[in-house]
Amino acid sequence: MNLDSLYEEIILDHYRHPHHKGLRDPFDAEVHHVNPTCGDEVTLRVRVGGSNGQGVIEDVSYDTLGCAISQASVSVMADLVMGKPLDEATKAYDEFLSLMQSKGQLEPDEGVLEDAVAFAGVSKFPARIKCALLGWMAWKDATARALAARETPRTNEETA
């Protein structure tokens, strides 16, 4: 298997110099996800802003322990979703998930995925798909929790 089709230069760049890394305040939800087969971990925080029914991903911050693919993926994901309206960010998530499940058969939409198209090769390495998805899954979970917390009166904050 050709290594360069997995470790694209963009991926190695993000791995060596991750964007938005480090946990930040303020945030609406924090989650901790692990990959039980390898012990990779991510702690991820999301801050959702916006109003009138349209949320905006104001901030994503994270701390990770993991391989080049998982670290680069969360860095690229943070770049991609930060500042985006919720529906656009969710669309990117859906597109990335489809790409990972495509076994290398899908031509990714660069307009939606931007730098994340570099992960197209990962879908041909079944053992690494979970690595690429770790940060995205954490983001989706954190965002869902942040939205649920917004809909709950502030007095119930401790359950968020």
**Cβ nearer to other proteins, comparing 35 with 90:** 35
Q: Which ranges of the chain does DSSP label H, i.e. alpha helix? A: 3-6, 9-16, 68-81, 86-100, 110-113, 129-151
Q: Closest CB to other proteins among 76 and 146? A: 76
Distance CA 10, CA 57 (A): 23
Query: What does the block give as tokens for 40?
Result: 């990779």
Of the pair 66, 108, the CB lying nearest other proteins is at 66
Nearer to other proteins, 73 or 143 (CB): 73
Name, in order, each residue with C-beta under 8 angstroms of 65's C-beta and a sequence gap of 6 or more. 39, 40, 41, 42
In sequence order, which residues have a C-beta less than 8 Å from that of residue 95 and are 6 or more positions away? 108, 109, 112, 113
Q: Which positions touch other proteins (CB under 8 A)?
A: 1-3, 6-7, 12, 16, 37-41, 65-69, 125, 128, 131
Phi, psi of 61 (to 5 degrees): -130, 155
- Smallest separation, CB 123 to other proteins (Å): 15
**Is the Cβ of residue 18 or residue 55 nearer to other proteins in the bound state?**
18
In angstroms, what is the minimal distance from the CB of 131 to other proteins? 6
Give min distance, CB of 37 to other proteins, in A: 6
Dihedral sign from CA coordinates of 73, 38, 98, 23 = negative
Q: Tell the smallest beta-carbon distance from residue 35 to other proteins (Å).
A: 9
> Shortest gap between Cβ of 71 and other proteins (angstroms)?
8
